[in-house]
Amino acid sequence: MWSDLIRDMPQGLPQVGDRGLDYTHTWGRTYWGGALFCLLADLEIRRQTNNAKGLEHGLRGILDAGGNIQKEWKLEDALRAGDLAVGVNVLQPLYSQVKDKPVSVDLDALWAKLGVQSDGDCLYFDDNAEMAENRRAITAGESAAAEHSLSSKPLAVFAGCAVGTP
């Protein structure tokens, strides 16, 4: 996963003429820019909650609040529900920053803080890096698996059919 992110995440960075995630509709900016938004949100949620929660908790909160394919929501409403679920205000402010203007991220510095290094052929992890604990929590999905089995909500809804109901 990390090698894919290191290799492909630069496609999500703003280029000349970028007008933010809501108004720049190139494939790389949409797909990888969205992935970068999710990674940054996950890391900030983990930072503010001392790794007690991550983006998966926000997404579960959106689902628990009724945000699924059966109902059309405004993005701001979904982000608000996600922030409420994690107990910190991350998704709404991050979206406000990136929706209508280019925001560049120093990916090399981010990978270094996470303790992820690549020489092109091999991937190396530095467990002494500043944010190595966050990287390990994301990779392991430590808290997500336990919560899925306890949830009364289906994991996903496709074409009106619940998938993954315990």
13-58 confidence digits (pLDDT tens): 999 999 999 999 999 999 999 999 999 999 999 999 999 999 999 9
Instruction: Return d(Cα 73, Cα 64) in angstroms, integer.
Output: 13
Cα 135 to chain centroid distance, Å, stands at: 12
DSSP reduced 3-state for 118: strand
**What pLDDT, in 10s, does the model give residues 140-158?**
875 544 444 434 454 444 4
Q: What is the structure's pLDDT at 120?
A: 84
DSSP reduced 3-state for 60: helix
pLDDT at 131 over 50: yes
pLDDT at 84 over 70: yes
pTM of the model: 0.84
How much is the average pLDDT of 127-133?
A: 97
Of 96 and 147, more confident: 96
Q: What is the structure's pLDDT at 80?
A: 98
pLDDT at 70 over 50: yes
